[in-house]
Structure 1
Amino acid sequence: MNETVVMLSDEAEGPAATRRRIIDAATSLLEAGGRDAVTTRAVAAAAGIQAPTIYRLFGDKRGLLDAVAEQGLAQYIAEKKAHALRPDPIDDLRFGWDLNVSFGLAHPGIFSMINGEPRPAYRLPIVASGLEVLERKITRIAAAGLLRVSEERALNLVRASCVGAVLVLLSQPEDRRDPQLSAAARESTIAAITTSRPALKDSGAVSAAVALQASLGNTPALSPGERLLLSELLAKLAASA
């Protein structure tokens, strides 16, 4: 009986406001002390609520951490989408890389939680939204005929290299970090996935296949079945890189 009264008191400001207050408290604890610092007791004390309220609003600690990640990423992705595209698609990829690194260094708790787990993928919808931004950048490079590998491989190489660079930097004391590490990793990755000349003016069949595959969605002359068949053939050729 007493517990119910306390929980109602916790949410006197409204469930949405209480939820935001808990997420803000958990975010502060995560950034200051890592995931181990985000205990139910610590979050409840920081948010000025009782522990049962956390379980009722988020289910468990995993649900709370997901909410923390979702809020932090939503703000970051909104910032990314607000920036105008660079005319040069490769420069646009550089800009996106640098934004991602800046976010990771500014929010190590959220970045490490999302990218440092051995799970196959972090399946929050907002994470998928962030990947779509990167996929569009890769597709722009492919459509310009400047991609030397398949879009899938380019996407995974960029993700692996950028995330790896941030995690390495986060593992080092701030005053001993190599300020050029991210740029070096970025340029090495770009050199590995792009070509300096448009593929369709080159003799490279793989690059030409990648460029054509990126443009198939804008080709009304083909039926859906023809487009699917051609896409499969081009993907097979692109994968031979």
Structure 2
Amino acid sequence: MQVRPTTPDALAESLAGQLADRVPEGRWLRAAIDGAAAADPGALADALVAPIKAAGHAVQRVSATDFLRPASIRFEHGRHDADAFYWTWLDEGGLTREVLDPLGPDGTGRVLPSLWDAARDRATRAGYVDLPPGGVLVLDGPVLLGRGLPLDFTVHLSLSDGALRRRTPEDERWTLPAYRRYAEECLPEDSADVVVRWDDPRRPAVVAAN
């Protein structure tokens, strides 16, 4: 494989251009930035909004952290259960029903940008929004790949084991086994459309197959 160093701004411009070029005429594109919390995938997702809009496409930002299951389900086996974090926390059904399917080939474009406030453990009561045809969904979150989510373009922010451990706060290191399982079982570096080495977010590098 080849690894091409880049800059954060150049990466955002490049990814935004790729997304804009892939939008089906009269339909929507569903893109996801996947990465551990330590990689802060939301920051890169936010950086894509302006250049995608500049290319003439409406954008809807959504975070997977706004589609978590209630605390009674997430913490059924304790607050530090890595297996639950890996496979149970995300409300895949809600995310698919309220966001991904409405932006699919037979969708309406009407999406719910958030569903559950995990901090308050209650519904966000957000209103539905209409993304016009030609619009781009930019979703961010951890462990998104390998779940069968209907996504059209995916980016994986890859951290080495050392970087992941260093950049994960002490009180969140109980999640590290979940990220190891994710790497081994879901193979995000093999399945993502774009893989970015993210050990130092000031000096990202795009991985390309030979």
Query: Quick check: which has more Rg, 1 or 2?
Result: 1
TM over 0.5: no
Interval containing the TM-score (normalised by the shorter chain): under 0.3
Q: Select the structure with the greater relative contact order (CA < 8 A; seq sep ≥ 6).
A: 2
Structure 1 or 2: more helix by fraction: 1
